[in-house]
Amino acid sequence: MKKLKGPKFIQYFQPVIDGLRDLGSSAKPKEVYNWIAENHDIPKAEIEGTTKGGQSKFENKVGWARFYLAKAGLIDTEQRGVWVLTERGRTTNLTHEEAYSLFKAIHDGFPRADRTQEKNEPISPVEDEDASAPDEKAYLNQDEIQERLVEILKGLTNKGFEELCARLLRHIGFENVKVTGQRGDQGIDGEGYLLINRFVRTKVMFQCKRYEGTVGPEKIREFRGAIQGRAERGIFLTTGSFTKGAREAAAQDNATAIELVDIDRLLELLIEEGLGVRETKALTIEPEFFSAYQKKD
């Protein structure tokens, strides 16, 4: 994509609309990310790079695009976890100038540092490009917490990370989870069973790797080779990210399915499940309430 005026995420306004339109006017975030990556020439560094909070830079920019499109009434945000085009969004086609004007109109309406800021109002990435795009349930200190979680996860021992992943899998519905990583079992760190319904369950093996960078397709192929014939599905969890080739290898047809959990998804799951993270109540002063009772200049 060519460089456009304004923040880089503006160039994703129309691709988000086009992707949703092509996907039937509604889709989950991952479906939109994949559609844009497949239909646009996104730089490798953006696809594989991460923010300080561990989120994919590409997905973060698309998330900011969704945020502004929702503020403009082009995307409906009522249903959590699903992006839906509004009636106006279905017929919208934005030029760069129109996208920039839309951004400016919304951005200029945000409370600034010299004005009272609404609680829960996000900081725009114009000031901080690494700021996480808010979802339907954003926490005020989410960036700070995610940065700290990334530091903690990368500082765990191999055994500690394996045990944490096993605990996470138990939380999201796995049964009979065992950590086997210390036995040198061809890179397999654990196994468990996922209950499909009351009568059917499937065996899953998982691998946990504390990587600083990206995981390539060769690691996925090695993992698949290790579990072939021993499990119906595999899960690869990492503190790093996956290359496009790794994602393609994981989605290979007629092969044992491999689910990929990168640092971004790992942080989401820890927060969702409340593992090592606790939501606390906080009070906020509303200065305008007291203004009528204060001494006038």
Residue 173's domain comprises: 153-273
The CATH number of residue 84's host domain is 1.10.10.10
Q: Would residue 1 count as lying in a domain?
A: no
In a domain, residue 197? The reply is: yes
CATH code for position 165: 3.40.1350.10
Give the range among 73-87, 132-146, 226-240, 264-278 with minimum mean pLDDT: 132-146
Q: How confident is the model at residue 128 (pLDDT cuts 50, 70, 90)?
A: low
Token pair recorded at residue 259: 């689910």
Span of 84-93, 109-118, 126-135, 136-145 with lowest mean pLDDT? 109-118
**Per-position DSSP letters for 46-80, written without gaps between them:** HHH-B-TTS-BHHHHHHHHHHHHHHHTTSEE-SST
Are 13 and 130 in a shared domain? yes
Residue 3 in any domain: the answer is no
In the chain, the number of structural domains is: 2
157, 59: one domain: no
Whether 12 and 125 share a structural domain = yes
Q: Which residue has the tokens 């002063």?
A: 285
From residue 159, alpha-carbon distances to 37, 81, 209, 235 in Å are: 35, 33, 10, 17
CA–CA gap between residue 277 and residue 280 (Å, rounded): 10
